[in-house]
Amino acid sequence: MKKYKYIFYYISILYTVGTSLWSGTIYLFMRHNGYSYSLINLFLEIFWLVTFLPKYHPATLLTNLAI
């Protein structure tokens, strides 16, 4: 069981690092193409919200929020 915990941590770390690198790269790319800072931040905000929601099962959210 301990082995699976370390595998989970390793995959989570890789995912987080990959997403962070993508976020910085897309920020520079959009700035280079002439987008304003407010539009870039709006895009990234929507991206983070959309990618956050499918990660959690709806029953988990309802249980944690006590709805």
b/e map of 56-67 (b: 16 or more CB within 10 Å)? Answer: eeeeeeeeeeee
> Cα–Cα distance between 8 and 51 in angstroms, integer?
19
> Cα–Cα distance between 24 and 22 in angstroms, integer?
6
Measured over all CA atoms, what is the biggest interatomic distance in the chain, rounded to whole angstroms? 50
pLDDT at 66 over 70: no
pTM for this one? Answer: 0.53
Q: What is the DSSP letter of 54?
A: G
Residue 34 — φ and ψ, nearest 5°? 95, 10
Q: What is the pLDDT of residues 6-63, one digit of tens each?
A: 888 888 888 888 877 887 888 899 999 999 999 999 988 888 787 776 666 666 656 6
